[in-house]
């Protein structure tokens, strides 16, 4: 059974281990496992900052007691930009294709609607991550632009796709 909930202090250690693993097993993230250098205190602060903001959320997903996905929405606290959320998501490779990413994103979209603050949700994806882009489109995200040479992975420059969704 999958459990999705807001991240808390007790998730910090698992989040660090998880981030190092997913950073190494996927070229679709903005970091590698070696580059992930947050401490438990850093993670706790990130989780806390998201929890106290009315226009941010940090989710964790556990399957059979194992952390298998994390997702977050970050937003500005400035009035002119507080209605825009930027989201990121990762799922452990062994759990790709099981619908966990879809459930996590749907949970974030619900959060946006219920927040009453977030009216636009944005994301940036590696242009080669076609399965994720298909998922985002199926959930209502629209292509808004391309960032040329935005990623550098394994000696190759890759483009990023910018997508957005208006929250009703």
- Under 8 Å between Cβ of 36 and 23: yes
pLDDT at 11: 98
pTM: 0.94
Spans of the chain, pLDDT less than 50: none
Q: Which domain holds residue 46?
A: 2-118
Q: Is residue 65 part of a domain?
A: yes
Is 128 inside a domain boundary?
no
In a domain, 80, yes or no: yes
pLDDT at 31: 87
pLDDT tens-place string over residues 131-168: 999 999 999 999 999 999 999 999 999 999 999 999 98
Whether residue 162 is contained in a domain is answered as: no
**pLDDT, position 49:** 97
Distance, CA of 99 to CA of 117 (rounded, Å) = 27
Residue 16 belongs to some domain of the structure? yes
Work out the widest C-alpha separation in the chain, in whole angstroms.
43
Token look-up 């994806």 returns: 125
Residue 166 lies in a domain: no
- CATH number of the domain that residue 88 is part of: 3.40.630.30
**Number of separate domains in the chain:** 1
100 belongs to a structural domain: yes
pLDDT at residue number 135:
98
- The confidence score (pLDDT) of residue 143 equals 98
**Rounded Cα distance, 74 and 82, in Å:** 10
Residue 161 within a domain: no
Q: How much is the pLDDT for 54? A: 96
| CA distances in angstroms from 138 to 3, 52, 81, listed in the order given | 23, 31, 26
Q: What is the pLDDT of residue 97?
A: 93
Nearest of 22, 19, 18, 88 to residue 56 by alpha carbon: 88
């Amino acid at each position: 059974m999958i459990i999705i909930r807001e991240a808390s202090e007790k998730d910090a250690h698992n989040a660090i281990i998880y981030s190092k693993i997913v950073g190494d097993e996927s070229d679709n993230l903005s970091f590698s496992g070696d580059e992930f250098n947050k401490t438990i205190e850093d993670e706790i602060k990130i989780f806390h900052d998201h929890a106290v903001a009315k226009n941010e959320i940090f989710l964790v997903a556990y399957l059979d007691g194992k952390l298998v996905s994390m997702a977050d929405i970050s937003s500005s606290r400035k009035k002119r930009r507080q209605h825009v959320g930027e989201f990121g998501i990762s799922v452990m490779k062994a759990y790709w294709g099981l619908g966990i990413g879809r459930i996590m994103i749907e949970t974030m979209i619900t959060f946006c609607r219920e927040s009453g603050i977030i009216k636009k949700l944005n994301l940036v994806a590696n242009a080669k991550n076609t399965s994720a882009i298909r998922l985002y489109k199926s959930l209502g995200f629209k292509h808004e632009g391309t960032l040329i040479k935005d990623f550098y992975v394994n000696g190759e420059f890759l483009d990023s796709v910018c997508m957005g969704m208006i929250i009703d």
